[in-house]
């Protein structure tokens, strides 16, 4: 069994784009490349999970979104597993905040959920991970939004950036080694 760091996309790796059909609107946060590589060196598998909004049938959104994910895979030598709901229908079985994408990937790659982490930037990401049984959830948010107030009671930490979330994981992994 391996351990994984699951990550949301918007609010975690990149800022929510104003126009999701335009690749230029996707802004990746600082230090993502270094930190993804660091997690790989720490022995974590990387899993990026989320919905592609894809509200408009036939829109080029999927192109821009997938191009962004492709760009992220080139930022690190560590392999990344992706779980994405592309389906228009909100009642789709795999759509976050349902846990299916997490559960499918955990089963396929034999991840140990107890040793794994989730970094969540939005409520749907948080709820899906929680439903999947992930206990080590770190919330990334710059504000004190309503959802983060609700979520932080359950989360192990609330931080303002992806880099700070990685520091928490490093500290916790060091504690496990020290025990």
Residues of the shown chain interacting with Zn ion in the complex, contacts defined by CB under 5 A: 85, 87, 92, 94-95
What's the CA angle centered on 4, arms 121 and 39, to 5 degrees? Answer: 80
* CB nearer Zn ion, residue 76 or residue 125: 125
| Cα–Cα nearest to 80, from 126, 53, 49 | 49
Query: Smallest distance, Å, CB 124 to Zn ion?
Result: 13
DSSP tag of 17: P
Query: Smallest distance, Å, CB 94 to Zn ion?
Result: 4
* CB nearer Zn ion, residue 7 or residue 94: 94
Q: Which residue is nearest to Zn ion (CB)?
A: 85
- Residues 159 and 176: beta-carbon distance below 8 Å: no
From the CB of residue 177, how many other CB atoms can be counted at a distance below 10 Å?
6
* CB nearer Zn ion, residue 9 or residue 95: 95
Cis peptide before 97 (omega within 30 of 0): yes
* CB nearer Zn ion, residue 95 or residue 130: 95
* CB nearer Zn ion, residue 3 or residue 87: 87
Query: Smallest distance, Å, CB 82 to Zn ion?
Result: 13
- Residues 36 and 21: beta-carbon distance below 8 Å: no
- Extract the tokens encoding 42: 């720490």
Query: Smallest distance, Å, CB 174 to Zn ion?
Result: 37
DSSP tag of 2: B
| Cα–Cα nearest to 13, from 60, 73, 55, 89 | 73
Query: Smallest distance, Å, CB 108 to Zn ion?
Result: 16
């Amino acid at each position: 069994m391996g351990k994984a760091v699951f990550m949301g996309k918007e609010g975690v790796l990149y800022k929510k784009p104003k126009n999701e059909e335009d690749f230029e609107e996707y802004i990746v946060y600082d230090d993502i490349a270094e930190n993804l590589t660091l997690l790989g060196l720490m022995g974590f598998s990387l899993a990026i999970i989320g919905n592609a909004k894809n509200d408009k049938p036939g829109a080029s959104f999927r192109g821009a979104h997938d191009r962004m994910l492709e760009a992220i895979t080139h930022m690190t030598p560590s392999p990344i597993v992706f779980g994405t709901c592309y389906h228009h229908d909100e009642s789709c079985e795999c759509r976050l905040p349902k846990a299916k994408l997490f559960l499918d990937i955990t089963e396929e790659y034999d991840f140990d959920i107890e040793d794994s982490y989730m970094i969540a930037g939005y409520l749907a990401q948080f709820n899906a991970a929680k439903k999947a049984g992930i206990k080590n959830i770190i919330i990334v948010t710059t504000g004190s939004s309503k959802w983060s107030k609700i979520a932080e009671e359950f989360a192990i930490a609330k931080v303002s950036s992806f880099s700070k979330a990685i520091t928490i994981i490093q500290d916790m992994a060091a504690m496990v080694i020290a025990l």
